[in-house]
């Protein structure tokens, strides 16, 4: 798919799904900016991409920090001359039952998962509008349909879907598309770290395909939305969840 010589920023790309997205985009010829809050992770992924003969730059900073985001976008434009693709992947989870969820846990998740998408998208859109081209791909989650102990996470990811639709409407006249991908349970440290082993066993029984997804399986969906072939696709939400979005399961709490 056509992303050759496009410039892509991938947030939260220091590990997991974000790392897989960055490497897949690079393997198809995109020049990639690796964003994460951990410098060592940024540098590792960027260096691994460079070792494959592709161009990559590390950019450390939080996605809800407007000054850090603005600086990252300026550095990207200064080095590569443009910003074609933004993948809003950075996210955190702080699972807790509704009656035990604190204001701090609510605010922390909404700040990264929803405000971060807004700040990065708004900033990148300024560059994309000027060049009359852009692809914004937001990582939501199957959890936006609702899930036990995930009031803050589900609300943040539902907000991402709604924000994506609004971005698509407002930016279409500038040839900028905005789409969302909703992963199900994926084989990452974050995915496994949110649930103890006994809950993971029960969750696997509720998976129609009976397994966790792999980061690379999510990355292929992002590659499509980021490509030139997806010119006429905007405002859409694609579930990559092994069928989990098709039905609800009994209370696992």
Q: What residues pair up with 59 in beta bridges, in sequence order?
A: 35
Q: Is residue 136 part of a domain?
A: yes
Q: Are 135 and 233 spatial neighbours (Cβ–Cβ below 8 Å)?
A: no
Q: pLDDT tens, position by position, for the chain (253 residues)?
A: 799 999 999 999 999 999 999 999 999 999 999 999 999 999 999 999 999 999 999 999 999 999 999 999 999 999 999 999 999 999 999 999 999 999 999 999 999 999 999 999 999 999 999 999 999 999 999 998 888 889 999 999 999 999 999 999 999 999 999 999 999 888 777 655 566 777 677 677 677 776 788 999 999 999 999 999 999 999 999 999 877 777 755 555 5
Residue 8's pLDDT is: 98
Measured in whole angstroms, how far is the alpha carbon of residue 239 from the centre of its chain? Answer: 13
CATH number at residue 160: 3.40.50.720
Residue 39's pLDDT is: 97
Q: Are 23 and 218 spatial neighbours (Cβ–Cβ below 8 Å)?
A: no
Q: Is residue 2 part of a domain?
A: no
Residue 146's pLDDT is: 86
Q: What angle do CA 139, 189, 144 make, to 5 degrees?
A: 35
Residue 148's pLDDT is: 82
Domain limits for position 28: 7-241
- Number of domains present in the structure of the chain: 1
Active-site residue list: 153
Q: Is residue 217 part of a domain?
A: yes
Q: Is residue 32 part of a domain?
A: yes
| Interacting residues of 252 by C-beta distance below 8 A, sequence separation 6+ | 148, 199, 202, 203, 206
Burial class of residue 244, CB neighbours in 10 A (0-12, 13-18, 19+): buried
Q: Is residue 58 part of a domain?
A: yes
Give the position of tokens 């204001």: 103
Q: Is residue 183 part of a domain?
A: yes
Q: Is residue 246 part of a domain?
A: no
Residue 190's pLDDT is: 62
Q: Which tokens belong to 32?
A: 């990639």
Q: Is residue 250 part of a domain?
A: no
Residue 187's pLDDT is: 79
Q: Are 148 and 199 spatial neighbours (Cβ–Cβ below 8 Å)?
A: no
């Amino acid at each position: 798919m056509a992303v050759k010589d496009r410039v892509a920023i991938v947030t939260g790309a220091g590990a997991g799904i974000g790392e897989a997205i960055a490497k897949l985009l690079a393997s198809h010829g995109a020049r990639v900016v690796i964003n994460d809050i951990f410098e060592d992770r940024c540098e590792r992924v960027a260096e691994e991409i460079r070792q494959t003969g592709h161009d990559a730059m590390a950019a450390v900073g939080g996605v809800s920090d407007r000054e850090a985001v603005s600086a990252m976008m300026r550095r990207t434009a200064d080095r590569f001359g443009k910003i074609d693709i933004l993948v809003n992947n950075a996210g955190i989870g702080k699972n807790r039952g509704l009656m035990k969820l604190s204001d701090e846990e609510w605010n922390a998740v909404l700040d990264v998962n929803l405000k971060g998408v807004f700040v990065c998208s708004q900033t990148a859109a300024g560059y994309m509008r000027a060049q009359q081209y852009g692809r914004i791909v937001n990582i939501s989650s199957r959890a936006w349909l609702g899930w036990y102990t995930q009031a803050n996470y589900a609300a943040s990811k539902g907000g991402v879907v709604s924000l994506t639709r609004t971005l698509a409407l407002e930016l279409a006249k500038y040839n900028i598309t905005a789409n969302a991908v909703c992963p199900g349970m994926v084989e990452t440290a974050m995915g496994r770290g949110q649930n103890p082993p006994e809950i993971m066993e029960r969750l696997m029984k509720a998976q129609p395909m009976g397994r966790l997804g792999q980061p690379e399986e999510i990355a292929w969906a992002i590659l499509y939305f980021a490509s030139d072939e997806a010119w006429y696709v905007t405002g859409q939400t694609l579930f990559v969840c092994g069928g989990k979005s098709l039905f609800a399961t009994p209370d696992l709490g």
